[in-house]
Every structure is written in C-alpha cells, then in structure tokens.
Amino acid sequence: MSRRTIEIALVVVGLALCTLAYLGKKNVQGWHSGFEFSPTTSQIVIGLIGLSLVWILVRTLQDKAVGRRTVFLYVGIAIALPLFMSIDQDIVISENTRHVYESLGELPPGSKVLVSFDYDPASSPELQPMAEAFLAECFRRDLKVIMVALWAPGAIQANIALDTVRARLGLDTTELVYGEDYCNLGYQAGREFVIQRMGTSFEAMFGTDVRGTPYRQIPLVRNVRNFSDINYAFNISAGFPGTVEWVQVAVSRFGLKLGAGNTAVQAPQVYPYLRAGQLQGLLAGINGAAEFEKLIGLKAVATTYMLAQTFAHLIVIAFIIIGNIAYFRGERETKLRGRTQ
C-alpha cells in the first residue's frame, strides 16, 4: 500500500469519526444511548481478534515481520472493541485493597480524612476512578474530607472527582456542604517540604482554599492544626512527589496513618512500605480501583475498563510469545546451518 493511499485512508477515517460525532450530538434516534455487542457478536469479535493473532504468528514464522504500524492498528482496535462488550468478570479482591476499605470502616462518623491528589490528567484514567470510589465511600460513611495536592493539576482533579461523586450519589449542595463535609485546600509547591510544614501547621502552608477562602474561615479545618488532628490519610499518587514522600515525612516523622492509591507503574516501589507496616493498604492501578468499587458495591469506570484491560494483557502476552517463537526458530535454523556447513 502506498503512503498516499494510507494517508487518504487516515483522512477518511478521521472525517468518518467527525461525522459520527456530529450525528451523535444531533442525537439522531436516541443515538446517545450508545450500543453494546450482543453475546454472540462479542464471541465473534473475540474469535476474530484471536484469528488475527494467528495471522500475525504465521506471518512472523514466514520471516515476514509484521510492521510497526500494523501492530499499532491492531492494538488500537483490539482495545477499543471490548469497550462495546458486556461480559461479567469476577474481580478478585486483594488484601491490600481490603486494608484500605477496612481502615475507613474503623473510623467513627465525623472523622477527618486527608486526601492528597498527587497526579495529573496523564494518569487520570487509572487514578480518577480510584479517587471517585474513595470519596464516595468517605461520604457514605459520613467522614469529613480535607483535600490537598502536591501536584498542581491535583486540585482540579479533586473538583472533577467531587462533581462526579455528587452526581453519582445524587447529593446536592445542601446534603454535602462545602467547608463542613469537605474542603479543597488546593495545591502548594515544594514537594516533601509541603508535607514537612504541614507537620507543624496546615495553615502556614495553605493560607486559603481553592476558592480563596481564608483557612480560619473554613469550619472543617478551623481546628485542624497539623497531622495530629487527622484520623486517616489517603494519598493518590502517580509519582514524585507522592506516596514515597508521604511515607517518609508524614508517617515516619509525624506518625500519620496512611493508605495509598497508586498507578500500576509506581505500585511495586511502595510494596516494601506495606511489608514494613508503614502503609495501611494500597490500591494498585486500575484493578485496585475495580476491587475497591466491588467492595463498596459500585459498578463504575474501573470495573467497565477491566475487560479491555484483560484483552490488553492477553495481546501483549501473545505478542511476546509470538516474538519468542520466531526467535527460537531462527536460532535453531542458525544452529542447523552451522552444522551442515
């Protein structure tokens, strides 16, 4: 296929998507309700994805390496299709997730929970569902939530999570009152030095909240001096500064009880803290979020992503196996050629 043909095809696909979007916004015949594959269609689609993997294997064995862009296209399609399927999966709950849930369960109503939003939109597909599920559970248990952020985008991510939770739980501003049930102190620069300063004075570090209200005028935090007035903390983190720094400063130095929600890529690094008892539970990646959703009886974003996640893992495993089959076959042929010469 020539480059020009590919480019024309890409433009056509782009225009087709725009047309779909336009028609969708026009809401032609209840378009907005979306659609879902029937069980039979789902099975056919899964079969086709499997067959295409066989095709990739055959091509590879014929020494016709599959091009980079073909792999890209394949991954894109194979991850998009499961989003249209509805297959129930039994999500296994890990001990680390259960610890987070139980930590919340141990808190009496009215306890103050500090939630630190240390991530940006790049990690929101993994961490936002976690944040939403955690906040929903806090409000369900009548826990008072104080939000802060060591990453600048964290403050807005907190607002977005709150809007979602409010809509999901059907709570209006009279049922969930800003400044009494929750507040957002926003972001402050300074990485672990922010945590360090919070150890002596929250107010010194966060003079106002995100709305510009002075600290002392917020009923929820008026009497919160430092970590000793916080019953439990939960850090949602995508890297530095994040869970490691919260453990190092808030836990080790000020004795805060801390749980965490991490991106999958960061989670392995904090396992030693779990074993050492420095961290009370961990939600690791999208499956951590899905497990937490299951625990609190909520079927939300993370749960719906898990099927696509399953496909993604199987595809990568298949790719590695195919690549290795080709590699060992090539090695064997090289050895055989060496013997015959």
Partner 1 sequence: MDHLGLWLAGLLTLGIYSFLYRDNPWYKVSEAIFVGVSAGYWVVYEYWQNFVGKFWDQKGDQPWLWIGAALGLMMLMRLIPKIGWISRWPLSFIIGATSGLWLMLYLTTNCIAQVEATIFPLFGADFDASAIAIFSNFVLVAGTICGVVYFFFSKAHTGAFGATARVGIWTIMITFGAMFALTIMNRMSLLIGRTSFIFGEWLGLLR
Partner 2 sequence: MRRTVPLLITGIVGVVFVVSYFIPHKPFSNLNDWFSDWFSIVAACAIVLGSLNLILISSQKVARRKEDWGYAVVIIVCFLITVIAGIAGGRGYQNTGTAFEWLYRYLYVSLSSTMYAILAFYVASASYRAFRARNIEATMLLVAAFLVMLGRVPIGDVITQFLPEGARISDFQQWIMDFPQTAGQRAIMIGIALGLTSTSLRVILGIERSHLGGGD
Site track 215-234 with partner 2 (rule: CB under 8 A), x = hit: --------------------
Site track 10-49 with partner 2 (rule: CB under 8 A), x = hit: ----------------------------------------
What 3-state DSSP class applies to 211? coil
**E strand or H helix that includes residue 333:** helix 301-340
Residue 113's binding partner out of partner 2, partner 1, none, with CB under 5 to 8 Å set by partner kind = none
Residue from 58, 320, 335, 336 in contact with partner 2 (CB under 8 A)? 320
Residue from 124, 226, 231, 278 in contact with partner 2 (CB under 8 A)? 124
195 to 114, 116, 191: CA distances (angstroms): 12, 10, 7
Nearer to partner 1, 22 or 328 (CB): 22
Per CB under 8 A, 203 contacts partner 2: no
Q: Are strands 282-284 and 258-262 parallel, antiparallel or unpaired?
A: parallel
Residue from 59, 98, 99, 191 in contact with partner 2 (CB under 8 A)? 191
Nearer to partner 2, 81 or 322 (CB): 322
Residue from 19, 41, 43, 89 in contact with partner 2 (CB under 8 A)? 89
Residue from 98, 197, 225, 257 in contact with partner 2 (CB under 8 A)? 197
Per CB under 8 A, 65 contacts partner 1: no
Per CB under 8 A, 152 contacts partner 1: yes
235's CB contacts (< 8 A; 6+ apart) are 115, 116, 118, 242, 243, 246, 258, 259, 260, 261
- Our CA angle for 324, 325, 326, nearest 5°, is 90
Type of residue at 94:
S
Nearer to partner 2, 258 or 322 (CB): 322
Q: For tokens 């862009």, what's the residue?
A: 69
267 to 128, 255, 261: CA distances (angstroms): 16, 22, 8
Phi, psi of 214 (to 5 degrees): -60, 145
Per CB under 8 A, 160 contacts partner 1: no
